[in-house]
Amino acid sequence: MKSIYSQSESAALELVEKAELKCGDVVVVGCSTSEVIGEKIGTSGTVETAQEIFNGICSVLSAKGIYVAAQCCEHLNRAIIIEKEKADALGLEQVCVVPHPRAGGSFATAAWHTMKNPVAVEEIRADAGIDIGTTLIGMHLKRVAVPLRLETKKIGEATVSAAKTRAKYIGGERAKYE
């Protein structure tokens, strides 16, 4: 479990640095703990493993004032668990559901039980994301996602991928960009 915590912490540190995240930003995290322990997605998840991953990621993000948006599994239509204060600040409509390991997934369950005042929302447009075990977080990223190559390639046995977002480029040949 220590290595899972450390790998999660390392991935979050890399994401913050490479995506140039700042206080108030939102990071969506999708996680299959089944994949982390070497099993097929959705078959063998554990809240204990999820808690270590959540704690490792939050140790980095919360210290910088960055919010975690925990993606639920497909049985809750990939709803998001997030702190109520951020959901309210973003004007997100809450939905009535409480994740558990068999509907929502272990990671969302760990988030729900660890956050100060968690709520569920149907969607979010996050500034960056970490996908642990190919859970498909793209639907919760802002419109232009840019893949990031992290040194942390795996958490446990699960493949890790990450993305940051950027504003859309608009205009034609006369347009200038930063």
Is 23 contained in some domain? yes
Q: Is the pLDDT of residue 1 over 80?
A: no
Question: Considering the domain boundaries, does residue 27 fall inside one?
Answer: yes
pLDDT computed for residue 178 by the predictor: 76
Return the CATH number at 44: 3.40.50.10360
Q: What is the pLDDT of residues 41-71, one digit of tens each?
A: 989 989 999 999 999 999 999 999 999 999 9
142 in any annotated domain: yes
In three-state secondary structure terms, 46 is coil
**For all residues of the chain together, what is the average pLDDT?**
96
- Nearest C-alpha neighbor of 95 from the set 76, 75, 114, 71: 76
In a domain, 125, yes or no: yes
Place of tokens 């997030």: 82
Q: Give the DSSP H or E segment for 146.
A: strand 144-148
Choose among 111, 49, 60: nearest CA to 86.
Answer: 111
> Is residue 22 one of the residues assigned to a domain?
yes
Q: What pTM does this model have?
A: 0.94
Domain count, the chain: 1
Give the domain range for residue 39: 2-166
Do the domain assignments include residue 30? yes
- Among residues 114, 89, 110, 91, the alpha carbon closest in space to that of 101 is found at 110
Rounded CA gap, 155 and 7, in Å?
Answer: 6
In-domain check, residue 171: no
Q: Judge whether 38 lies within some domain.
A: yes
